Amino acid sequence: MDFQGWLHRNLLGPHADSEWSTKFAIIIWYIWKWRCASYFENTENLPLEKGKFLCSKFHHILQALTVDHQLSILERPETKVQWIRWETPEEGWLVLTTDGAVKNNPSTDGEGGVFEEHEENGWWDSLSF
In this structure, is residue 80 part of a structural domain? no
Same domain for 98 and 68, yes or no, is no
Distance in angstroms (rounded) separating the CA atoms of residues 3 and 6:
5
Q: Are 64 and 106 found together in one domain?
A: no
Query: For residues 31-63, b (16+ Cβ closer than 10 Å) or e, as one string?
Result: eeebeeeeeeeeeeeeeeeeeeebeebeeeeee
Prediction pTM value? 0.50
What average pLDDT values come out for the chain (129 residues) when binned by 10 residues?
Answer: 89 88 90 86 82 90 76 68 79 82 76 80 66
Residues 96, 97, 102, CA angle at the centre, nearest 5°? Answer: 130
- Spatial separation of the C-alpha atoms in residues 38 and 34, rounded to whole Å: 6
82, part of any domain: no
Does residue 100 share a domain with residue 44? no
Provide the domain limits for residue 37: 3-74
Same domain membership, residue 61 and residue 16: yes
